[in-house]
Amino acid sequence: MKLIVLIPVLRYQETCLSPRCLVFLNGFVYFNCNAAVYSEHMNTNVSGIVPETSANTLGKTDDLYATAIERYVHHVYAYTSRSLTYQSDIANAFCGISTALARSMQSRKLSFGMPASCFDWAILWKSRGALRRTVGFPSWSWMGWKAEIMMCPTHDTDYDQMWLLQGTWIDWQIVSNGVCEMLWNKQDASEAALARVQRIVKEVSEYEKARLEHADVIKGGSPSGTDADDSISDEQASSNDRDWSPTYAESTPENPFGRIDEHNEARKSVGFPKYPSEQPRIIACESPEPQTLCFSAPVTVLIAGPAIQQPSPGVQESMIALQDREGQICGSLSLHHPEVSSNSTLKLVLLSVVPFGALGVYHATGQISPITEAFHLGDTVTEYLEGWPRSLDKFDFLNVMLVRETSGKAELVLGDESSSQSVPIHERAGIGFVYRKALSNVDWENIVLA
């Protein structure tokens, strides 16, 4: 009698969240856990077969010491690389992963798969291939698109934390029943996490101060006359705990995301015309679209340049160069919609300073070279990348998001409810970067993003 074993395909969440799995395969039974894979016909673990990297670990990639944010990156890419029978099930099919990840990423929840604790980083996601819009989900989330999603590259625990507090400036709000609520608040994070943020900020600040006081700094290392290993305290070593994700810091009503010195340094370096504190805060929003973001942000207009040739067409989403008013290439933009004609004007939201990891990718893929030539930057970018910084000290390149108006309108209530504003509802249409010194017309604007 021939025995036929029917093997159900494990769903992604079932595989990732199960501490142990019993698998029936080709007439044999296998036991899979985080440590090894065992077979009924062998007395030891199966040679050449490793356990599913997500089993009992929430997807710790192949690196057993991956940080929480690295595990998140792994999950998003692995999940979006799979095909769903019904794309509308994308949120429900990821909710178990979201709940588990939220705990390690200091966030009450992941709004459509996006961690609120480091939202400025999460919104920099890109596609590895062509995108197709998913109806019923917001465009600002990767869940709103059918594509293989790549998150922004991370760099170093200390640097990523400092970038989040130094190189960002948008106070993100999400609309709930017509009321605008901050996407993140300090109740989302544990006291231990907030204390760790303060410790990292203090240690990196002291390090940078000591580094600047020495003229003969060892590139990328400690100040001359000190030993690199000795300069790392026990507390700093503990800050490199692998179960860690960058998070916003202790907040106040004036500085709801706890950014350092109210992120004045980044804004001064970037040269924004005015600060959000000088603008009336959005307190309510009537929008027909669910899960809408509303926020004040610096906005600029640039020109769509020529298409950038890809090494392997079809692998990456459409990409074009960005040009300033003088026709010089000043950035690049990955398009979610390819129907952008050359020389058309593009409305871009200035999101944040380009972090070290992303800058390295732009440099390695040759996207920085035309800007270096146009603005005579020499080897400054290369030298900076070789320096391996621990804090944000370069503000030359900014992340930008292309937005386009939809037919919808939203009504905003501002300040003390004494004024209101009707604004168009926008949709995310692309992501990229720009050289800040090419910007000549930047103004703060109230944005509603669905």
pLDDT in the model for residue 280: 66
Low-confidence ranges of the chain (pLDDT < 50): 1-10, 46-62, 215-240, 262-263, 311-314
Residue 408 phi, psi (nearest 5): -80, 160
pLDDT in the model for residue 135: 85
pLDDT in the model for residue 81: 81
Helix axes 68-80, 90-104, angle to 10 degrees: 170
C-alpha distances out from residue 359 to 154, 188, 347, Å: 11, 30, 22
pLDDT digits (tens, 9 = 90+) for 103-147: 777 666 678 889 999 999 999 999 987 888 988 899 999 999 998
Torsion of CA 164, 376, 299, 415, to 10 degrees: 60
Distance, CA of 127 to CA of 428 (rounded, Å) = 13
* Distance from chain centroid for Cα 5: 43
Nearest to 433 by CA among 378, 373, 356: 356
pLDDT in the model for residue 26: 74
Torsion of CA 215, 219, 220, 224, to 10 degrees: -50
pLDDT in the model for residue 5: 34
pLDDT digits (tens, 9 = 90+) for 12-34: 666 666 667 777 777 778 777 76
- Beta bridge partners, 286, equal 411
pLDDT in the model for residue 273: 54
Nearest to 169 by CA among 359, 299, 296, 333: 296
DSSP for 19-66 reads SSEEEEETTEEEEE-SS-EEETT-SSBPTT----TTTTTT---S-TT-
DSSP state of 309: P
pLDDT in the model for residue 364: 93
pLDDT in the model for residue 425: 94
CB 271 within 8 A of CB 309: no
pLDDT in the model for residue 149: 92
